[in-house]
């Protein structure tokens, strides 16, 4: 199992770079960041510094979207980083939540996302693609490689991930829901004539190592609010009892009162008061190192290839170090 670190690109950027260097020293192989141009600093600029200051780490957004940048710009940016530092980037992509909504736009449609994945991959790997009806190829790319990993929750998005993506990003660590969603993605891959084993499965969630569970829950409760934001979209689209979305995922948002993006992804987010302790425990990894190891082993048994650790809490360095000393060695 691989391990990744997920950060927001809050200033100063030097601290993001420093934490990624620390993560690599502790055995993390992937460095991910949020991508929302209004809320945080531009991640692709920072990726260049992370790559320059690490040897093996792969970097990418968790997640970008097809709407805030034109597709040829996204492809060229990834290809430039790969040309400078070797093929060490991954394009995590989704419909766009905070990045689109904070700018007053609706998230992208799944049809647009599917087209974007094909075009961005083709362009970044040096092939010709149609952009707005025009054939385009980036001529200086000779050995490009860009895996596209798609974030998804709902049935249609899970199907698209199985049909077109190189990897699937699931932003929660509940084994029941993980099993359900991995099966949906793999079934879609089979129906599309693809090898389901070829898709990389990445589970992303906050992790907090320590014995004070009450404090750990409060530091990670924001995550239930962020996931709830996506679940609310699913409920509005499919209905609360449609059978298309597990009730284990939809039940807890009944008392949700909206969402304030100014606190997006941050400990102490007041928009997450509706999230009960049970959901925090299910979605996140909390407690002593042994509890993390047990849950990670359960996830690995379900087919998870990477655990990406959200470190938006008050113990970033301590958790990175604890994973390096006590947890990652168990999965070598």
Q: How far apart are CA 313 and CA 15, in angstroms?
A: 14
> What is the C-alpha to C-alpha distance for residues 131 and 8, in angstroms, rounded to an integer?
30
Ranges assigned E (strand) in the chain: 2-7, 30-33, 58-61, 91-93, 129-131, 134-136, 148-151, 167-170, 200-209, 285-287, 306-310
Number of other residues whose CB lies within 10 A of the CB of residue 68: 18
When pLDDT is cut at 50, 70 and 90, the band that residue 244 belongs to is low
Instruction: Report pLDDT for 247.
Output: 75
Determine the Cα–Cα distance for residues 237 and 116; give it in Å rounded to an integer. Answer: 22
Looking at the predicted structure, is the pLDDT value of residue 68 above 70? yes
pLDDT, tens digit (0-9, with 9 covering 90-100), for 256-288: 666 666 666 778 777 677 888 998 999 999 999
At residue 102, the pLDDT reads 80
pLDDT digits (tens, 9 = 90+) for 195-206: 999 999 999 999
- Can you say whether residue 92 is alpha, beta or left, with left for phi > 0 and alpha for psi between -120 and 50 degrees? beta
Report the pLDDT value the prediction gives residue 227, as an integer from 0 to 100: 82
Mean pLDDT of the chain: 92
| pLDDT at residue 230 greater than cutoff 80 | no
The residue-averaged pLDDT of 191-220 equals: 97
Q: How far apart are alpha carbons 207 and 12 in whole angstroms?
A: 23
State yes or no: pLDDT of 299 exceeds 90.
yes
pLDDT at 236: 67
> In this predicted structure, what is the pLDDT of residue 271?
67
Confidence class for position 107, pLDDT limits 50, 70, 90: confident
Question: Which residue bears the tokens 């093996």?
Answer: 56
Note whether 41 and 17 are within 8 A (CB).
no
Distance set, CA 34 to CA 83, 196, 291 (Å): 23, 27, 27
Confidence label for 242 from pLDDT (cuts 50, 70 and 90): low
pLDDT of amino acid 293 = 98
Helix 175-191 × helix 155-164 angle, to 10°:
50
Length of the chain: 332
pTM of the model: 0.91
Nearest to 320 by CA among 90, 42, 15, 39: 15
| Residue 190 DSSP SS3 | helix
Find residue 282's DSSP bridge partners: none
SS3 2: strand
* Distance separating alpha carbons of residues 72 and 203, to the nearest angstrom: 28
């Amino acid at each position: 199992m691989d391990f990744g670190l997920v950060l927001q690109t809050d200033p100063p950027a030097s601290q993001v770079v420093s934490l990624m260097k620390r993560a690599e020293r502790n055995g993390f192989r992937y460095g991910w960041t949020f991508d929302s141009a209004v809320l945080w600093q531009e991640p692709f600029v920072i990726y260049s510094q992370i790559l320059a200051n690490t040897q093996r780490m792969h970097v990418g957004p968790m997640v970008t979207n097809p709407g805030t940048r034109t597709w040829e710009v996204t492809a060229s940016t990834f290809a430039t980083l790969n040309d400078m530092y070797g093929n060490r980037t991954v394009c995590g992509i989704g419909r766009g939540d905070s990045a689109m909504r904070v700018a007053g736009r609706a998230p992208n449609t799944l049809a647009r996302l599917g087209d974007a994945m094909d075009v961005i991959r083709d362009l970044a790997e040096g092939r010709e693609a149609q952009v707005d009806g025009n054939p385009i190829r980036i001529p200086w790319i000779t050995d490009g490689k860009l895996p596209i990993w798609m974030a998804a929750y709902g049935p249609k998005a899970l199907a698209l991930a199985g049909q077109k993506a190189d990897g699937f990003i699931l932003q929660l660590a509940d084994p029941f829901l993980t099993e359900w969603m991995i099966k949906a993605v793999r079934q879609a891959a089979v129906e599309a004539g693809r090898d389901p084993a070829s898709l990389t499965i990445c589970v992303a969630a906050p992790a907090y190592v320590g014995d004070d569970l009450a404090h750990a829950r409060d530091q990670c409760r924001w995550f239930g609010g962020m996931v709830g934001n996506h679940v609310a979209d699913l409920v509005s689209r499919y209905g609360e009892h449609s059978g298309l979305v597990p009730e284990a995922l939809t039940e807890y948002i009944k008392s949700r009162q909206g969402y304030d993006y100014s606190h997006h992804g941050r400990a102490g987010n007041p928009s997450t008061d509706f999230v009960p302790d049970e959901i925090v425990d299910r979605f996140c990894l909390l407690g002593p190192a042994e509890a993390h190891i047990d849950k990670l082993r359960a996830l690995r048994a379900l087919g998870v290839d990477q655990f990406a650790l959200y470190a938006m809490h008050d113990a970033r360095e301590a958790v990175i170090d604890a994973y390096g000393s006590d947890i990652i060695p168990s999965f070598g």
